[in-house]
Amino acid sequence: MSLLTLCQNAATLMNLPSVTAVITAAGRTPQEFQVLAIQTGQELLRRHDWGGLIRTAVLGATPAVVPGDFERLTQGSPVRLGTQPIRGALSDAEMNLKRGALPTSPPRFMLRGRELEVAPPPASPVTLEYVSAYWIRSADATPVFRAAFVADTDMSVIPEDIILQGLVWRWKRQKGLAYQDELDQFEQAVDYRARADRALRLPAEQASSVANPAKVT
């Protein structure tokens, strides 16, 4: 669903006036919805390596600057030489020692800020697997990925149903309303979606409860 549809659904769930625009809206509620949707997306970005946000980059000689949308390394073996994982990440002291090692010694990597270094320097390019910070995509045929909404037609790469649930409980908390039920549903849905994203099996009763959430009132 688009940003506009997301906010319209939130308004419907909470019995608020209909939302007809978000980015250009002068009203306070659409603006709040947009901010809360971004807060939810940023939280979810930190909590899980969503498959739709995993990217690879091929780096030549190192040290090399990681891509501009780099958020963090993926779990497992994020730095590889061909199909061979490169172990890391080393500390500054460990990397200083590795820089003086024989060229035939196993390579190791260090990530300092946005700079990746492998030592001893490999003879071939290094593949980097990472989580992208650009969790929002445009509706274009060739989508543009970014970290903020710029159009009502923009969509979330992170599952949008949990963006909606996160928006709802945050809005209720902001207004001083009861929100614990909505927060509990959100947390359960996040757990379900994260597990499903990694194709892990869920108990049937948990899947059923998330598939049929209670209506927000």
What is the reported pLDDT for 198?
Answer: 81
Q: Using one digit for the tens of pLDDT, what is the confidence trace for 5-56?
A: 999 999 999 999 999 999 999 999 999 999 999 999 999 999 999 999 999 9
Give the pLDDT confidence of 96-132 residue by residue, as tens digits. 989 888 888 899 999 999 999 999 988 889 999 999 9
- pLDDT digits 0-9 by tens, 62-99: 899 999 999 999 988 899 998 899 998 899 999 998 98
The average confidence (pLDDT) of the chain is: 90
The angle, 0 to 180 degrees and rounded to 10, between the axes of the packed helices 28-47 and 3-13 is 110
- Hey, what's the torsion of the CAs at 82, 84, 85, 86, to 10 degrees? -80
Q: Is the pLDDT of residue 214 over 80?
A: no
Strands, E, within the chain: which ranges? 54-59, 64-65, 70-73, 79-81, 84-85, 108-112, 115-119, 126-132, 136-137, 145-146, 155-156
Query: pTM to 2 decimals?
Result: 0.84
Average pLDDT over residues 179-185: 97
CA-closest candidate to residue 160, choices 33, 42, 41:
41
Which backbone phi and psi does 198 adopt, to 5 degrees? -100, 15
DSSP string, 74-117: PSS--EEETTEE-B-PPPHHHHHHHHTS-TTSPPEEEEETTEEE
User: Is a pLDDT exceeding 80 seen at residue 3?
Assistant: yes
Which residue type, as a one-letter code, is found at position 81?
L
How far, in Å, CA of 108 to CA of 51, rounded?
26
**Per-residue confidence band for 178, with pLDDT thresholds at 50, 70 and 90:** very high
Q: How far apart are CA 152 and CA 149, in angstroms?
A: 8
